[in-house]
Amino acid sequence: MTRDRDPVSPPVALTIAGSDSGGGAGIQADLKAMTAHGVFGTAVVTATTAQNTRGVEDVHAVPADHVASQYDAVVEDFDVGAVKTGMLATAPIVETAAGLLARRPAPVVVDPVMVAATGDRLLSPAAEAAYEGLIERATLVTPNADEAAVLVDEPVETPADAAAAGRELVARGAGAALVKGGHLDGDAESVVDTLVIGDEEAAADPTVRRFENPRVATDATHGSGCALSSAIAARLARGEHLTDAVAGAIDGMEAVIRRGYDVGEGPGAVNPAAFDGGA
């Protein structure tokens, strides 16, 4: 006996990011977070990495023209409701992404993957400089404190610094900036994330909004930035207001970190499947 097909038609989001062979971050984490929010995830791979829970051993960037080909293939077939960018690897890829996204009306979440957990810079000076053009296209940019310091060329060590950095990023063209607070004070019992909203949004919301949540006592935060930015993009693809999308995604991160994966010989990784999706 055959059965009738009963398909679903979820919103579609796109991640433009690198692949993590260890499965904890990058494209792999992005797609898990999107699925957890009931969104169909599509992907443009910018680089492949040889990594696991202990660290990164090798990175191979994809040619920029192939990044463009992947992007064109996706948008020609899918109604993409939101885009997020992660690891972009090289200046030509950053510039290519900025040019491609300039043609799209969909919201864009830029997660500027620039600084490793060790504090090492991941991009060349040329690639860091190329982010100026991408920030201008961003509906939201989501740096951690170290990345915000690189972008604005000022130290970011306190929530007040985070607000100042967010205002600067908005002044440079971003619609809004979420400066993540996980790196601000590792000994604090709570994490303070700072959202700075541009003029268009400010009519309905405060210019600066802070989200304070208990810190989870763990070093297993690999993939947390990917999961958060992808969750925000998924919520935007579903049509949520920017502030609601940010608040909902941040609220879900406690479970994503607390219920993280204990796999491999390193600290482990976050669990994007733990998002409740907010649906």
Supply the pTM of this predicted model: 0.94
Residue 102 domain-assigned (yes or no): yes
The count of domains in the chain is: 1
DSSP collapsed to 3 states, 210-247: EEEEECCCCCCCECHHHHHHHHHHHHHHCCCCHHHHHH
Q: Closest Cα partner for 250 from 217, 275, 279, 219?
A: 275
Residue 2 domain-assigned (yes or no): no
CATH code where residue 87 lies: 3.40.1190.20
Q: Closest Cα partner for 102 from 60, 126, 76, 133?
A: 133
Domain that holds residue 188: 12-271
Residues 37-46: pLDDT tens digits? 999 999 999 9
Residues 193-247: pLDDT tens digits? 999 998 654 444 448 999 998 999 898 999 999 999 999 999 999 999 999 999 9
Please determine, for residue 4, whether its predicted confidence score (pLDDT) is greater than 70. Answer: yes
